[in-house]
Amino acid sequence: MILSIKDIRHNITHFVITTIGIGMLLMVVLGMGGIYRGIVEDATLLIDSVGADLWIVQKNTRGPFAEISRVPSNLVHRALAVPGVKFAREFVFHTIQREQNGKPLRISIMGLSWPTDKGEWIPLTSGRPLKQSHFEMIADKTLKLSIGERVKLGKETYTVVGITESMINSTGDGIGFFTIADAQSIQFDTPSEAVRLERAAREARGEKSEIGIKQPSLLENAIKPAAELPQIARPQISAVMITMMPGRNADKIAKIISGWDDVSVYTKLGQRELMLKGNVEKVRKQIGLFRVLLTIIAAVIMALIIYTMTLDKIHSIAILKLIGAPNTVILGLILQQSLILGAMGFMIAYAVGQKIFPNFPRRVILKDTDLYQLAMIVLAISICASLMGIWKALKVSPNEALS
């Protein structure tokens, strides 16, 4: 070890630059794993946090996260009638992009089933849950909104009353929490001119219909808001979330609900799997492929570096052989330098990553298993990379010390 350290000191500048380069490459390898873990965490965060045991969605769909789902709002009352159901809540979720203070604001809207759900389960960093049925919102900090700030969405203006953290969707957009009525108002907002034209078209259709000719007084309803017309159904919701009573079997309740012809039902685990196998699967494969390629590139670069460092020491190695140094000393010199290079690169990757990763647009989540895994990879790379240098050192003849 002393011999390898002395050789490193002799070429300290070259070694430091090389170590930094290896460290940056290993940092990217480490970051790839953290990015994937962050994507999985973001994709399943809402499913895990909302506290629903079962999800009722539109028939033959895969739920509100995998695709569009539309169910009637009165489905909540049907779900409550099932034995073993403690709570049933409406669920509305969609994404919009608006402008706030001259900057684009992309926000995922989640509707809370007011007054059953006021957002007490949301982890707030400041502010409070919703206290009014309209015109209040809770915003994730990534939306860069502050307490008391007013946000115009559609025809209404909403006041931020709470700030939460790490509540984002699978694409990294911050979530804003509203009451179910406000969420639907934002989702189905229609320009005033479009509303006027629809009412005029409604009246024109009525004038041509038989019932409109026989009962002209009915045409007065044509100019009324759609919410006041019994013929027009209420806006549909995305899903219904069910919380079971303690000790009840989720599969039994799901079996009862699955007998309804207009809906499908999934457990929390099933909804989670659908999300991971749908939205996240291709991202997982792509990041995994990049990670493998970067690992191979790191191994090749380290092998070339060790080989180059061995070529620089050809004369010194020949002298060692000439004075009778055993091959184990020479091989130990090369292997030790490779291990030191890998260890220093790993430490640089970890230290720099801790400073840089928090500033990434998406969350980078690192766990101890990731560090252990990378440490084993670096150890294997270091040993394999030294083989080229060892092979070259074994071919050196002691006579080269005299040339």
pLDDT of residue 176: 93
Short-list 119, 117, 123, CA closest to 141 = 123
pLDDT of 122 > 50? The answer is yes
pLDDT of 401 > 60? The answer is no
Question: How far from 294 is each of 28, 29, 35, 154, CA to CA, in Å?
Answer: 8, 6, 15, 46
pLDDT of residue 403: 61
Distance CA 304, CA 307 (A): 5
pLDDT of 102 > 70? The answer is yes
pLDDT of residue 314: 67
End-to-end CA distance of the chain: 28
* pLDDT confidence bin for 149, thresholds 50/70/90: very high
Which tens digits make up the pLDDT trace of 36-66? 888 888 878 888 888 788 999 998 888 787 7
Two tokens at 363? 């969350």
CB contact at 8 A, 73 and 113: no
pLDDT of residue 160: 94
Could you say which DSSP state residue 401 is in?
Answer: G
Residue identified by tokens 């009324």 is: 224
DSSP bridge partners of 94: 109
pLDDT of 193 > 60? The answer is yes
pLDDT of residue 1: 45
pLDDT of 287 > 60? The answer is yes
Mean pLDDT of 127-137: 92
pLDDT of 14 > 70? The answer is yes
Distance CA 370, CA 26 (A): 12
Mean pLDDT of 18-29: 85
* Domain ranges for the chain: 2-43+281-402, 45-184+236-278, 189-234
At residue 153, the 3 state secondary structure works out as strand
Question: How far from 363 is each of 33, 94, 154, CA to CA, in Å?
Answer: 11, 21, 30
Distance CA 53, CA 269 (A): 9
At residue 175, the 3 state secondary structure works out as strand
pLDDT of residue 161: 94
Which tens digits make up the pLDDT trace of 358-393? 888 778 888 888 888 888 888 888 888 777 777 777
Mean pLDDT of 240-252: 88
* pLDDT confidence bin for 396, thresholds 50/70/90: low
Which tens digits make up the pLDDT trace of 250-272? 888 988 998 888 899 998 888 88
Which tens digits make up the pLDDT trace of 320-363? 666 766 767 777 777 787 888 888 888 998 899 888 888 887 78
252-279 burial, b if ≥16 CB within 10 A, otherwise e?
ebbeebeeeeebbbbbbebbbebbbebb
* pLDDT confidence bin for 217, thresholds 50/70/90: low
pLDDT of residue 399: 61
* pLDDT confidence bin for 212, thresholds 50/70/90: low
pLDDT of 148 > 80? The answer is yes
Please state, rounded to an integer, the average pLDDT across all residues of the chain.
Answer: 82
Give the global pTM: 0.73
CB-based contacts of 365, cutoff 8 Å, min separation 6 = 34, 37, 38, 41
pLDDT of residue 233: 62
Short-list 70, 62, 89, 101, CA closest to 188 = 70
- 237 HSE (CA, 13 A, CB side): 25
* pLDDT confidence bin for 222, thresholds 50/70/90: low
- 220 HSE (CA, 13 A, CB side): 4
